[in-house]
Structures are given as C-alpha cells and as structure tokens.
Chain A
Amino acid sequence: MDPSLYALTVVALVILGTVVLARKFPVLFRMGARNALRRKAQTAVVVAGLMMGTAIISGSLASGDSLEFGIKKAALDALGPADVLLETDGQLHYPRALYDDLAANRSVTGIVTGLSPVLYEEAAVTKTANHQSEPRVSLIGIDPALNKPFGTFRATDGRALDASELGPNDVYVLDSLAKKLDARAGDTLAVHYSKPITPRIPKLYTYNGNLTASAGVCPLPQVPQSCQYVAALGQAATFQVPVNPGAVSITTLVAWFGPNADHTDIDQTLTTPDGTLYANTNGTPAQPDNPSFLNVSGPSSLASGNWTWSVGAKVAANQPFRAIALVFYEEYNLTALQDFAKQAGSSGFDASQFAGDSTGNGAGGETADLTIVAVVKTDGFGGFLLGQNVFARYDTVARLYGQEDKVDIILVSADANAQDGLAKTPALMGLLPKAVNASADAHPDMPAIRAVKALAVKQRFIDASERAGTLFKEFLTTIGSFTVIAGMMLIVNIFVMLAEERKSELGMARAVGLARRQLIYLFGFEGTLYALAASAIGAVLGLGIAWGLIFGFNKAFTSGPSGNAGRLLTIPFHFEWSSVAWAFAAGFMITMITVAIASWRVSRLNIVRAIRRIEEPPKPASRALFWSGAVLFLGGSVWALYGFVMGDFPSKILAPCVALMGAGIVATRFVASRIAYPLAGAGVAAYAGFTIFTFGNPKGMLNAVMGPIRGLFIVLAVVLIIIHVPQLVRLTSAILIRFRGLIPAVRPGVAYPLGKKTRTGLTTTMFALVILVVVAFSIFGATFTVDTKAQSGGYDVEGDTTVPIGDLQAIYAQQADPSQPDPFDRVAYHDDLRYAIAFGGRSIRIDNESIHYQGPPADYIYSYNEGFAKNNRYDFIELDARYHSNREAYEAVLNDPSLTIISVALNFDEEGNPGLHHVGDTLTLQTPSGTASFRIIGIQKQLYLGGLFVNPQVLDSTFQRIRGDYLFKLNDGEDPIVAAREIEAAFEKQGMDANSIEQQAQQQLEQNKRFLTLFQLFLGFGLVVGIASLGIVTARSVIERRQEIGMLRAIGYPRKQVLRIFYIEIFFTTTLGILVGGAIGVITSYGVVVSTPALASLGVKFTIPWLDLAEIIALVYAAVFLATYWPARQGSNVPPAEAVRYIE
C-alpha cells in the first residue's frame, strides 16, 4: 500500500473522531462552525495563514516529483526501447564480431527484441553555405535494418522516414541542431573529424651475445662482403622472439659494446614462423647511441608464434653486443605500459621514444562533405542519448573514422515497450556478460571484446532519477522547514488571538456550565474546519509553488553554457498524488496539533476576568511549571551525559539546551521570570553557537536535520532574551523621539509589542527563522564564489577540440583565411593539454575510496606539454616536499608515468568538504583493460580543470577518444572575448570551441546566482508567513484596542499619529526579527566557514554581500508596509465616538 494512504488514514481517523464528537455535542459543533463562517474576511485570512506550511511541504514534494519524472522521462526519451548498452569503459572501439556472435546466439536472440551495432563518434560540423558551425555533435552510424526496433525517424514535416534510403554520403540532422546551423534538407554539411588514436604498447625482450670471426676468414681491415662473423661456440647470435596474437609490429635494436665498436657493422634478420625473412643488411655501425634497427609491420596483425632473430657481422673480434626486441600491440593497457617502463628502466634502455607510440591522426583532422537529406524530430530514434545528433549509415561513419568492422556501442532491447523492457532487464543482465565472455573466448586475437561490459543504462537512469528526486525533496523540505515552523507559530498566534477576541463569550459559556474540555472541543471543531480548508488549499497552492520553482530552475539551467554536445535537460512539471496526499496530511496534522495546544491554553481562562475582559494578572510560577522545569533540567542533563560519553552528535547539541531551558523554568520559582528566562536564553544561545564553531557539522541527513533545529534553538533563545529586556523599549524610544513628528506615537508604539510578549515573541521568531536562512544562503552564495584568477591559472582563453591538434600555428598557417584577423597576433603564448573523459564515475579511486561527486560523475584525465609545466599558475594546497617548486612537480609527472597531480575537485568528502585525501595517497585508475596505480604528488587549489594530470603516454595508452585543450595567454590589453571568437573561427575545421575563461566564470557565477535567487524565493514564502502574521496581528490589534484608539482620538491624537503608533509597532517587531535572524545568520554562516579549515586552503573568504542583504531587507520592509497598510489605516480611521463605547 502506498505509504501516503497511511497518512490519509490517520487524517480520516481524526476527522472521524471529530464527527463522533460533533454528533455528541451538536450545539458546540454548530457554535464552532458558525464562528468559522461568521466573519468571512477574517476566516479567509486565517485559512491563508494556516495553509503556508502545507504549501511549502507540497511544493517541496512536487518539485522532487518533477525532477524525478524529468530525469526518468529524459532517460526513456534518450534510450527508447534500448534497455542495455554493450560498451567498454572509456567507450573504446571493439570488433563488430561481438555483434555477429550475439546475433547468432540463440539464448540471446530468444529474449531480446532488438540488437543494433552502432558507431557513436564526435565531430564538428559546418553548414558550408553560411559557415554556421557547431563544435560538438554526435555523429551516429547505424545499420537501418538492424536499428529499426530502436525507433524510426520522423521528419519535421511529419513524414515517416526510411533510413535504409540513406546514401553513402547522406545524413539526417536533428531539428535543434539544424536550427542552430540554419540548415535544411538539401544543404551540404561539412563534417570535421579525426580518426581516433590507437596506442601501440611494446613488450620488451632483451638478449646478450658475442660475435667472433673465424680465424683468417675475415681479415681486417678490408673485409670481403661475403665474410660473416658468427657467434662463438656456446654463445648466442640467434634468438627466439615470442609474438602473441594481435601484435602489429616488431622493432629490433642491436648495438655493439667493445673496443672495436666503431669498426664493425651489424646485420639482422627476422624470420617469421612460416619462414618469411626480413633483414637489415646495410651494414649499420651499430654504436650504442645509434643502434641498428629492423622494423617489421604489416597491414594486419603479425603472424603469431616464435620469430627467429639472427644477429650477424662482417667485422668483429670477440665483440659483445646487446639486442632488444620490442613487439608492439595495439591496445589500451596502462598496466602493460607501466610494466614496459619498469622493464626498460631496469635494463637501462631509454624507452621514451617507444612508450605509448601511437597511430592515428592527431595533426588537425579531416573534413567530409555530406548532404542533409532530412531534418528529423526527437521522436523515435532522433533524440537518441539527448545529443545534437547527425545520423548516417554505419559504413559511412566507419569509413570516415577508419573503424571498419568496429563498433563502440551495441544496443540491446528487452522489449519494444520502454517500461516492459525495464522489467525484463535483470534477465538480460544475467545472460549478456556470459555471451560476451564466450565471444571473447572465441576471438583471442580480439582482446578488446573482453573489455566490453553490459550496462543496464535505463535502469541506472531510473535509479539516478529516484535518488535525485529524493535528494531534491530532502533539500527543499529542509530549507523549507523553517517556513513550516514559522507556519506553526502563526497558527498558535492566530488561535490565541481568536481566543482573545471571544474571551467574554467563552467566559460566559464557562459561567453557564461548559466544561473546560468542551471549550477545547468548541475550538477544536472550528480548528478542524480551518485545518481541512487550509490543508486542502495549501496542498494545491504548493503545486503552484513547485511549478514556479521548476520554471525558474529550467530558466536558470538553460541560460548557462550549453555543455558538451548535449541538448539541455528540461524538467517538466509533474507531481504524484501521493505527494499531495502527504502534504495534505502533514499540514492537517500540524494544524490540528497546534489547535489542540492553543485550545487547551484557552480553556484555562478565568471566568470572571474573561467576562469582564480584564487582563489576566501575571501568574506566579506554578508547581506544575516548576516540576516540568525540573524534569527538563534533570532529563536534559542525563541525556547530555549520554551524548558526551557516547559521542552522539544530536545529543551533544540538543541535550544541554534542553537542560538549560529546564533550569530557567525552575529558576522562575526563585527569581523573577524577566531574569530567569533571559539568563536561560543566553545560555542556550551561547552553547548552541559554541557548537557551531567547535563541533562542526555531522554527515548526511543528520546535518540536514540538525541545521534547522540548531537554528531554531538559537533564534528562540535570543528572542526569549530580547522580549524580557525593558531597556530595549527605552533604547528604541530614545532613538525615535529625535524625530519630532513621531514623539506622541513613540511610547505607545514601542511599548505595545513588548507588552504582548507571547504574540511578539512568536512573530519575531517567525521572521527571524526565515531571515536566518535567507541571510545564510546569501552569504554562502557570496563566500563560495569563483575566484577567476586562481581558477584560470594565468590564462585568458581556453579552447577545446574533439581531437588534439598537433601544432596549432602550423595548422593555422595551412588553412588561414587571409581576410580574417590572425588570432595569434593577440596571443602571448599558448600551452596545450590533452584530455579524456570517462563517464560513470567508476574510474578513479583514491586510497580505495571512490570519488564523491557533487554533480554527474565524469572523470577528466589530463596530460600536458612542457609549456604548461613551465607557465601555469595553478597553485597547490599540498605538494610533495621532494619538489621545491610547482614547476618541478609538474615536470616530474611529465617524466614519470607513475605520478599524478590532482585537482581539489577530486578531493571532497560526501558533504562537499575538501581535504579528504593527501599527497602520498595512491590513486587507482580503472581502465578498459586493467588497473594502474599512481602516487599523488600534488593537490591543486583549482576546480576549473577538475581532474587528474598524468604523463602523456598514460593518457594515450588508456583512452581512445582524446580531446585537445588549449590555454591561451593573451598580450596585455587584449579582449579575451574577441580573441576567443577569432580563435574559434580560425580553427572551425577542427571544431574548436573557444571561450574567455573570465566570461565562463562569470556565466557560472550568474547561473549560481540564479539558482540562489530561486531558492531564496522559495524561502521567501516563509517571509510571506511572517508578513501575513504581522497583517493578522495588526488587524487583530485594531479590534482589541478599539476603545483605546477611540480614547487617543478623543484626547486629540489625529489620524496620522494613530497610524504612526501602529507602524512603529509593526516596524519594531519586523526590525527585531530582521536583526535577530540576520545576526544569527551571519554568525552561524561564519561558524560553518571557519570550522572547515580546508575551505581556507581553497582561498574561500567569508564574505557578507551587504548590497544583496540590503535589497532583501528593503523588500521585506516594503512587503510589511503593504501587508499592514490596510488594517493600520482602518485603525486610524476608527470613529472616536463609536470606539470609546466599543464592546466586541
């Protein structure tokens, strides 16, 4: 059963109980109902005030529902019937043979409804006619017949398209991309691409031997051509070199060591297992620093088996030689690379020119002109993976990228219906890994097949959507909890005032025989009607709040930079009825509990004083109150002891506060409450504040809950102090009487709020709570802001390409358009990086711990050139003591593939606090074919290039899709935005996406600000509660003080002075709330920042955004003025004659 139904059941039981009581006491019910309907305007205001808390709960839950639904929908739209993707980590290409094997596997074909091999590449495109370009698109090669189960294509004019009609140079373009390019069917699209880099990693074999001449056969110095020295008996000159399947080339090197090294030459031969001979007999002197080479490579793999390698010479005299054979394999195997480096190091061989030798075009890319035959909608397969998609035939893409007979994704569908496919995915996931392994076993010469994994992506997206939705709900309900608490206080305020209004009639009712509990029923009936109306309306209003929040979220998100070849995720508004039910039930129960408490309080009235409307005298501390205080004190003390002994965080925070409050209550027996309560309040505020600075923040949900509770305690404590301090009246009066026109209004205006301590305390607390959170949010937004200089590393422009460009200036020289400005005129220097992205968040572990991602998990692995090592200004939080400068550390990584430097982006804990790991820790990189370990020698302060920095060979030997990243330092005075534009235009063919770093940082800041504003608006509903409360309190005050107003008017107070009295009261209370909430917000934010030392190391400086806070405060005052204007005005217009005789 849906859990929300349990909540509704509880509500139903309460309502049933009310109905039963109503039947038993029909007169009381009628009285309660008539009271509720007697003054419609007042009822409307009461309901409006009560519904705020429900609205916030409903808004929070519905927002979470929308996010969850949006991600789920995006997943279903992106994947359609595709339930599982077969791909490698790092999305390497692997043989299409796997698809063939799966298609022939009956147990697979028996349960899948579709299998489709796909090539999924990145490219840049330009519409030739108008040079509109898009630097990052997804070029997707499909087999139309095999891909049909995964969705068809529909043109923008509604026609269904048959992809089998695509020619070898035809493409479909997605509508959003076509719009950007202003392209339509028939246009020519230039596709700029580059073949992927394939690393060749050698296995190293070393041999030693000796050659001598047969005596007299090869006389020095003239040696006949036919003369051949051979190995002396017992000494080797012929070796066996093992070549495994998949080897793509062999390189052998031989060098002499000996006194006659400069008078000899070396000949080598290599013989394949089937007898083919390769030789280098050109008589190389084969010095140690200039060895003799023999290289054998072929269009396809070399024959596997033992190859025979012979070393011979024409001139020798007991010459020792050393021989090294390198057998190269095309693979992404970091372990093999590191093993090769170790072997080379231990054998004294300089391997630098051979390590990570790569084939593939990195020099600038190629261009192919293709024809757009149709612009397609996102329906069907068009929106695959939410990319900016260009669709072509499989063979077209394979030809362009040199990946014939290769794929990088195989789509698998368990059912044509997206939802049913989810249900069948577990069975598929049980079967596919076995099928893949079987295929790998069948093709030992295709090791990449073993690296293929089955990923239940749709299920993962669904799980991620649920997690995201839950997190968002928790976040919103946490920050909204202050509003809910403020709403509860408003309910108490309202019911206390309703009771005041009806004091005499309630007194009369008690006088004629109504029991106290019947008085509770009376208020309870009225409260139930309010609660029902308020909860229902609030639950629905909350949907409006959620709609607004999602609208703002989408606007904020889509206003920023577009990201990597992706259409942005738009969250549709959606809610679950269970969320509405929860909100309704929660709001109803909160109201009913508060009504019950307020009703109980009302039922304690003194009958005579109520009838005669005489104020209740201050009650001396009763025995019940004393013992309650004693229980709180003793219980709190024991609880605190438990907390400190057991180290329980909530107990350590809350228990001493409870004990202190109990002590305050007990003390009222012995000293005046105006002394006891402020002292208790001071103790609670001081202790709770102390814990922020010293106890830090707990992890996870506990932090989410403790934050609001701690804030509430501090606010209540401070308010308790303030309302018992009479000097506050004197101080405020002393300030305001300086304004001559205010003099008659000052004393009444200031004295009234502190004369009604409960009412003022509740209203002030409501305001203070919400102001606290709003201020804290503003401060965190200003404090955790981007320091452009630190993040830019001294560079001004960053350019990004889908493939690395070898020599920027050389490429530019080849393709420069003389009519366009030379971008390098503005550039002082540039440094080149390369990087790869591994999606999924599984690639990196530090000291066996996974990285805690704050956003979508993607690992960025960078390598860099010498220039970057020398020029960059990226400073370190921690640096290995072995390195005396930053440059030394950066250069160490260039020379040693076992070292790494990481950005602080990888160094956060679950809560987002940096400092989790340290220099010296081991970082493990999980690659498609293995695992490799690195030692961390430095942790950078910067977040901009958030990833790890490794040796270039490591990158090349691990990832296939390597992108280029260029950092430009401009000449002084150059405009980075203009420079970025020119750079981008100059390298359009290479798909360069260039941006001013400062502009990007600003955009990020603005996006953050938009999100911050959104959440502040959400919190603003809490302020609405506070302001509504003031409006209600003012309206109530006008009624309560009608006679007094009449008296003031009678003795000569003009209307404007009466109005001033009300406004002094209102603004006094508002200002108290703002000051208390603001001060506590500032102090608690400061405490959070200083209690996290790692933040200081990031250069985070506590910042108060005075202007923003001034704006917020000005808005609050304006809203208060508007909300209270009408009742205050009504009060000032009270006819004196009527008022002095007024009896409610």
Chain B
Amino acid sequence: MVFESLDARNRYPRRTQARLVDEFGLATSGGTPIIQARGVEKAYRLGALVVPALCGVDLSIKRGEMVAIMGPSGCGKTTLLNCLSGLDDIDGGSIHIAGERIDKMNDEKRTAFRARSMGFIFQSYNLLPVLTSVENVELPLLVAGAGVKDARRRALSALDQVGLLDRANHKPTELSGGQQQRVTIARSLVNDPAIVWADEPTGNLDTKTGAEVLGIMRRLNQERGQTYVIVTHDPALARLCHRIVHMENGVMAREEALVEG
C-alpha cells in the first residue's frame, strides 16, 4: 500500500523487465553477479588483542538485487558492507565488483571506482551542515569531474526525484530527519551508480518516515535497476528486499530469498 501511494508521485515510466535486461544486461533476479566476495576475512587489532570481525564470508549479489544484511550487534554486518564497498581493506579472500577485483586496488583507484560506480546512504546522513541540499547532492558529480552547471542541473533533478526540489536551498539543519535522509538518497543516486550501499538508512527515522524512505529506495531499485546492499536491524525493511543474508559471529549463517515485490 505504501508503494501504491507513492505511484502518484512517480514521475518516471515503469521499466519492464525486458528493458532492464536490454539496458543493464540483467534481470531482477538471476544473471551475472555484480558483487562477488569469496572467503573474505577481516580482523581488528586493538593493541595486542586481535578481534576477528569477518571469518571467511562468501557472498554473491546479482545486478539489480536488493539485499538486506541482518544480524545481531557486533556480528560484522557493517564491516562486511565496508569491505565489500571498498571503504576498508580485508585480511583475506577476494572481492570482485563488476568483474574488477577491488581488494587489490590502491586507495586512489578504489576511491575513483567508488566515485564512478557507487552511492552511499548512512544512518546519520553525513550531510555537510554548511552546504545546502543541492550543494550536498552535487558533490559526487563534482569529484567525478562534471562541470559546475551540469552538476547543478543533475543535482536538482535528483532532488526532484526524491520530492525535495523545493528544499534545494535549505541547509540540513533546516530539514527534518526524513528530509535529510532523502537528500542522502538523492546524493547516492546523482551519479547514476551501479551499486548503492546503505548502512541502517532508517535507523534514525520514525516508522512513518522510514517507510517513506524505503519506498523511494524500492522505487529507484525497480526503475533504475540499481543494486542495493542494505545493512539493517529493521525486519520491515528487510522484507522489502529480494534476499536477506543473516550473519552471526562474522560468518554467513543463512540466506533467505523473498517473494519479488
């Protein structure tokens, strides 16, 4: 029902599965994995103490999939997200993103890769408080080399997609939590990334606002065929995804495939 209510605000035509296959070479389920992690290991060193966070994780995610990673606190969900997205190094195993092995890339290459191909949504929004909404959204475009005017145009378009065009010149302190998260979403998709990584995107939001935000993410996943990897505690959010991966103690405990939405 939430998504039906959002249809009225949907300004873009629905894309058929066929068109998704044509454009992105994949279907909403099945096809070549865009993310492939094998035997990923990661440990944290606190002085002499070594704390294993990931103990040989294998995970494949297909293009266009929306995958939720769940588990108790300290099980390694966020660590896995950080490693898969290239934000952090791994101690063992391998990670391939769209066929490229990112764990072997140096920091500069990984950063450039992220700028081209990835978007991020954080629990605490992580917007720059001194910039307006549109200025926050255009940051990924500027760093990717877009011209100033082009970046502005596309940022406004992205804000429009999340329904915040009228708040383009407001600073984060002038927006509600939900609005800030929507700005974050706009920022995550402005450079048309193949993968969006989200860490507890609704963690700081109330139920209603969280549902709205989820709706936008789901719509964008359906329309654009972007792959979403979401770390969450929220079962409602998880149930919106194509698959839930459960982690315990740094390993994949089980997977759960869900009915397509």
Contacts and interface: CB of A to CB of B under 8 A. Distances in A.
B181 interface: no
A1117 interface: no
Given A1052-B116, A1057-B143, A1043 B126 contact: yes
A1051 B120 contact: yes
Interface in A1040-1055: 1043-1044, 1046-1055
B148 A737 contact: yes
Contacts of A1046: 126
Interface residues of A, number: 30
B173 A1141 contact: no
A1043 B128 CA distance: 10
B107 interface: yes
Nearest to B78: A1141
Interface string A1107-1144: 00000000000000000000000000001111011000
Contacts of A1048: 139
A566 interface: no
B51 interface: no
A752 interface: yes
Interface stretch (A365-373, A742-750, A812-820, A941-949): A742-750
A275 interface: no
Nearest to A1046: B126
Contact of B173 (A615, A1047, A1050): A615
Interface centre among A743, A1052, A1054 (most CB of B within 10 A): A1052
Given A1050-B120, A1052-B116, A1135-B88, A743 B139 contact: no
Interface in B102-132: 107-108, 111-112, 114-116, 118-120, 122, 124, 126, 128-131
A1141 B118 CA distance: 18
Interface in B132-177: 135, 139-140, 142-144, 148, 173
Given A743-B148, A755-B129, A1052 B143 contact: yes
Contact of B131 (A751, A1050, A1051, A1141): A751
A748 B126 CA distance: 13
Nearest to A1047: B126
B131 A747 contact: yes
B63 interface: no
Interface centre among B108, B129, B199 (most CB of A within 10 A): B129
A1043 B142 CA distance: 20
A617 interface: yes
B182 interface: no
B245 interface: no
B98 interface: no
Contacts of B139: 744, 747-748, 1048, 1051, 1053
Nearest to B122: A1140
A615 B173 CA distance: 8
Contacts of A1141: 78
Nearest to B44: A1138
B209 interface: no
B218 interface: no
Contacts of A1043: 124, 126
A751 B129 CA distance: 9
A1054 B199 CA distance: 21
Given A615-B173, A1057-B143, A1136-B87, A1051 B130 contact: no
A737 B78 CA distance: 36
B135 A1047 contact: no
Interface in A718-768: 737, 743-744, 747-748, 751-752, 754-755
Nearest to A750: B130
Interface in A1056-1070: 1057
A1044 B135 CA distance: 14
A1141 B120 CA distance: 13
A427 to B, nearest CB: 77
Contact of A1051 (B82, B135, B148, B187): B187
A737 B130 CA distance: 18
Contacts of A1052: 111-112, 114-116, 118, 140, 143-144
B115 A1051 contact: yes
A617 B173 CA distance: 7
A1050 B143 CA distance: 12
A1050 B142 contact: no
A751 B87 contact: no
Contacts of B108: 1054-1055
Interface string B46-88: 0000000000000000000000000000000010001001011
Contacts of B122: 1047, 1140
Contact of A744 (B88, B129, B142): B142
A1140 B131 contact: no
Contacts of A748: 128, 130-131, 139
Contacts of A1135: 88
Nearest to A733: B148
A89 B122 CA distance: 90
A743 B114 contact: no
A1047 B129 contact: no
Contact of A743 (B115, B124, B142): B142
The 4 closest A-B pairs by CB, nearest first: A1052-B115, A755-B130, A1137-B88, A1047-B126
7 contacts: A744-B139, A751-B131, A1043-B124, A1049-B87, A1051-B139, A1137-B88, A1140-B199
Given A1047-B126, A1049-B111, A1054-B112, 20 more contacts: A615-B173, A737-B148, A748-B128, A748-B130, A751-B128, A754-B130, A1044-B128, A1047-B122, A1049-B87, A1050-B85, A1050-B120, A1051-B143, A1052-B111, A1052-B118, A1053-B115, A1053-B139, A1054-B111, A1055-B111, A1057-B143, A1136-B87
